[in-house]
Structure 1
Amino acid sequence: MSVIAPTARNDATVNRWAVLWGSVAILLCTGAIYSFSVFAGPLGEAHGWDKPAVMMAFTINAAIGPVPMILGGYIVDRGGARLSILVGGVLFASGFMLAGVATTTTMLYLSYGLLAGLGQGLAYSGCLNNTLKLFPDRRGQAAGLITGGMGLASVVAAPVAQWIIREHSVRTAFVAMGAVYLVVVLVASTFVRKAPVGYVPPGWTPPSGAAAQVNVSWTGMIQTPAFYLIFLMMGVGAFSGLMIASNASPIGQSMFGLTAATAALFVSAYSASNALGRVVWGAVSDRLGYLNALMVIYGVVALSLLVLVAVDSVIGFAVGIVGLGLCFGGVMGVFPALVMKNFGPRFQGINYGIMFTAYSLAAFFAPRIAASMADAHDGDFTVAFFIAIALAAVGLFLTLVFVRYSARRAPSQAPTASAQPR
């Protein structure tokens, strides 16, 4: 296991809140990648492309996610946070604008799929992992705000894109919004400063035992049971949220009798809940403890899914998807801080990039399993809900195992001096 115990450094020249809000502004732009459903229909109509061909651009975008996350983490861990963010932001904005002028699906795949996907991952990794290193006292809150900006992006971008498309064209929407994103990224990145190694915020005293914290490189991380437990916990935690994110509208229409327009409103409510959950659960986890927060999250996920199964009304649908949205946001807000706590801040970039492949696997399987279950049961997602409930129970069990593992491992083997789980 490769470890480093850096000397604590108090650097008052770094305005960590400016870095945080600059990073949030950048992710409010790159998070617009998840509003692609607004563009998909108009793109197909404008060019005569069928829906599967258009959606392949989003599939490519999601599939390459782990690559820029790990690459960006490597750059961040070597002090290149601003480089990762700038390159990522420019690639994202360029890919977004080029998607508007694409005349073939190949051009669309290269622009929106490849360029924008690489850019989004690089910027996300740079913003998240660099900022977390500046908040050893508020890791959950910082992670929640950063990922919350990502989640809120589609809530803002979707109605703006709809208006531009309606008043002008889908091409204008891509080009105009991409140009705005480029300007915001260039301006906001000027507020970003790399986090000093072993940074300690002015006026904050590390808790007893924190000086013994070590930093585990990725080669050491993958040799620990903690890595595999967290990996599985993250994968099953993201499953239900991704299942609903990709199928909220069909679920509302086929199981609860909603019109397409009403179902779209609930999709927005789910996105807003997702963004809010990242902020709220991130802050709560700092006080409740990361593992305690995750146990509550898994429990609420199971209850929310049971509401969708048992309450056959619009109110049941609303309660279910809001609960799932808040918890999906919680998963995205808590796990970055949990990874840093267990493996240290020095190699957080590449460590979390590797851990994030659990999310990518969930993103591949969850929508497909839900859609196939619905197709096999005439649009009824009940079987998919029960699968997700079972996985939430697995997540709760794994978290309890992790609590026992954290409490029993010897101090010399633990990434931190304290054996108390958070």
Structure 2
Amino acid sequence: MTTFANTSAPASATGLLHNRWFQLLIGLICMMAISSPQYVWTLFTKPLSTKLGVPLSQLQITFSMLIVLQTFFAPFQGRLIERFGARRLISIGTLLSGLSWMLASQASSIGMLYLTYGLVGGLGTGIVYIGVVGQMVRWFPDRRGFAVGMVAAGYGMGAILTTFPIASALAGKGLESTLWQFGLVFALVGVIASQALRSPDPALKRAEPLHAQQTTGTDLAPRQMLRNPLFWLMFCMMTMMSTSGLMVTSQMASFSRDFGVASVLVFGLAALPLALTIDRLTNGLTRPFFGWISDRVGRENTMFFAFALEAVAMTLWLLTRENAVLFVLLSGVVFFGWGEIFSLFPSTLTDTFGTQHATANYGWLYISQGIGSILGGPMAALMHEKTGSWHPVFATAITLDIIAALLALLVLKPWRRRYLADTATIK
């Protein structure tokens, strides 16, 4: 295993805090500390609706604000991190994320909930997500896909540890106490962990990429990158994959009921909650898995396989829609073919446009996830409402997957190869 080792490195660059695997662990903890606001939100909808006296439609605006602010402010947050340092900004982000729950516990109106859970929470989680990803692509030039996938998995799967404790606390202690206590715990864990974050010393010897084509291009600042059409190809591809995945995954409860499988027992459990549990697991596992694969066989090759896998799984899902067992199993495959976008795209972006501005650059690419969240759910619901069928929804999602897979192999791969041949140096 190649490491960042250099016998002439200064003393300040040695020890546990400058071990990149320890930094990966710290980044993983920080991501887990901010995962619950998004992934446990559904547990709060009923008690919040009752407390505030508002319909679910108004309440869900809070969740939309959380996602939009997390993604659309990412370029600004990335710039702040690069200017003031990852440790300082990620500390603030984890504090804001936990504080959003503590403040939300005192909210007496829907407007206050928007400001606390939505605004404060969205800004806090966005800072941490962008900051941790930016750290990992610097620490692991040889294993970017795996490292980014690991911390992204921490965000995707971190709520598994908190879902049942939070559900139990809601039943036993009530809404306000649950939000306050867990918010305090998340803030403390995140702030304490983030104090151990360090950035790699540029003077240290860098590990060689595992795959011959995984070179690092010339460092470009965001304003330079945004003028490069290659960036916009990646942006469009990530938007397409985000939209296609969310078009289907956000509507699982609705179409499973329409297909008549939601309450059918599979392995002794109702199909829908069982599928959702498996999906959360596979959505986390796919990120380091395909990231690890991409480190060895190339980013675009991995994209083609993963995106095509989702298209095939969605097709089979639709064709066998009345089979509850296959509904559960294929839902896991669909999520396994979708969640890897959060490891493959940031790694590919940094391979192409360098590490110096990696955090701010990824902030711009991350906006595509926000666009996908806006388009995916509402577009799918509108298509179903207008046509009375789920077939157009699935057909659109499958088409987007296939187009993205072909673009990865036939356009992105040769284009990046030509670009790196002119500008890249292995670092």
**Do both share a fold (TM > 0.5)?**
yes
User: Is the Cα–Cα contact under 8 Å of residues 64 and 118 in structure 1 kept in the other structure?
Assistant: yes
Match of 1:397 in 2: 406
User: Is the Cα–Cα contact under 8 Å of residues 248 and 397 in structure 2 kept in the other structure?
Assistant: no
Query: Shift of residue 79 of structure 1?
Result: 5.8
Counterpart CA distance in 2 for 1:180 and 1:72 is 24
Q: Using a 3 Å threshold, how does the CA distance of structure 1 residues 408 and 136 change in structure 2: closer, same or farther?
A: closer
Superposition pairs for residues 16-415 of structure 1, below 5 Å?
A: 16-34=20-38, 35-78=40-83, 80-197=85-202, 200-201=205-206, 204-205=207-208, 213-259=217-263, 262-311=271-320, 312-378=322-388, 380-399=389-408, 400-409=410-419, 411-412=421-422, 414=423
Secondary structure, in 3 states, of the residue corresponding to 2:415?
A: helix
Unaligned runs of 5+ in 2: 1-7, 265-269
Secondary structure, in 3 states, of the residue corresponding to 1:193?
A: coil
User: Is the Cα–Cα contact under 8 Å of residues 256 and 317 in structure 1 kept in the other structure?
Assistant: no
Q: Using a 3 Å threshold, how does the CA distance of structure 1 residues 210 and 320 change in structure 2: closer, same or farther?
A: closer
Mean alpha-carbon deviation: is it higher for 37-46 or for 212-221?
A: 212-221
Query: Shift of residue 354 of structure 1?
Result: 0.4
Secondary structure, in 3 states, of the residue corresponding to 2:199?
A: coil
Query: Shift of residue 211 of structure 1?
Result: 8.7
Counterpart CA distance in 1 for 2:31 and 2:80 is 18
Counterpart CA distance in 1 for 2:421 and 2:297 is 22
Counterpart CA distance in 2 for 1:136 and 1:98 is 39
Secondary structure, in 3 states, of the residue corresponding to 1:216?
A: coil
Counterpart CA distance in 1 for 2:113 and 2:214 is 49
Q: Using a 3 Å threshold, how does the CA distance of structure 1 residues 198 and 346 change in structure 2: closer, same or farther?
A: farther
User: Is the Cα–Cα contact under 8 Å of residues 261 and 271 in structure 2 kept in the other structure?
Assistant: no
Secondary structure, in 3 states, of the residue corresponding to 2:296?
A: helix
Query: Shift of residue 205 of structure 1?
Result: 4.4
CA RMSD of aligned residues (A): 2.2
Mean alpha-carbon deviation: is it higher for 161-170 or for 70-79?
A: 70-79
User: Is the Cα–Cα contact under 8 Å of residues 216 and 350 in structure 2 kept in the other structure?
Assistant: no
Q: Kindly provide the CA deviation profile for residues 266-307 of structure 1, in whole angstroms up to 9, marking residues without a partner as x.
A: 222211111111121111111121111100011101101101
Query: Shift of residue 401 of structure 1?
Result: 0.8
Q: Using a 3 Å threshold, how does the CA distance of structure 1 residues 320 and 373 change in structure 2: closer, same or farther?
A: farther
Unaligned runs of 5+ in 1: 1-8
Q: Kindly provide the CA deviation profile for residues 166-192 of structure 1, in whole angstroms up to 9, marking residues without a partner as x.
A: 122122221111011011112211221
Q: Using a 3 Å threshold, how does the CA distance of structure 1 residues 336 and 322 change in structure 2: closer, same or farther?
A: same
Counterpart CA distance in 2 for 1:89 and 1:30 is 7
Q: Using a 3 Å threshold, how does the CA distance of structure 1 residues 116 and 198 change in structure 2: closer, same or farther?
A: farther
Q: Using a 3 Å threshold, how does the CA distance of structure 1 residues 198 and 382 change in structure 2: closer, same or farther?
A: farther
Counterpart CA distance in 2 for 1:187 and 1:147 is 20
Query: Shift of residue 317 of structure 1?
Result: 1.3
Counterpart CA distance in 2 for 1:407 and 1:65 is 32
Counterpart CA distance in 2 for 1:417 and 1:194 is 21
Q: How much identity, in percent, do the aligned residues show?
A: 23
User: Is the Cα–Cα contact under 8 Å of residues 144 and 278 in structure 1 kept in the other structure?
Assistant: yes
Q: Using a 3 Å threshold, how does the CA distance of structure 1 residues 96 and 199 change in structure 2: closer, same or farther?
A: farther
Secondary structure, in 3 states, of the residue corresponding to 2:202?
A: coil
Q: Using a 3 Å threshold, how does the CA distance of structure 1 residues 209 and 166 change in structure 2: closer, same or farther?
A: closer
User: Is the Cα–Cα contact under 8 Å of residues 95 and 112 in structure 1 kept in the other structure?
Assistant: yes
Q: Which amino acid aligns with 1:246?
A: S
Q: Which amino acid aligns with 2:119?
A: L
Query: Shift of residue 71 of structure 1?
Result: 2.5
Secondary structure, in 3 states, of the residue corresponding to 1:101?
A: coil
Secondary structure, in 3 states, of the residue corresponding to 2:244?
A: helix
Counterpart CA distance in 1 for 2:204 and 2:146 is 17
Secondary structure, in 3 states, of the residue corresponding to 1:328?
A: coil
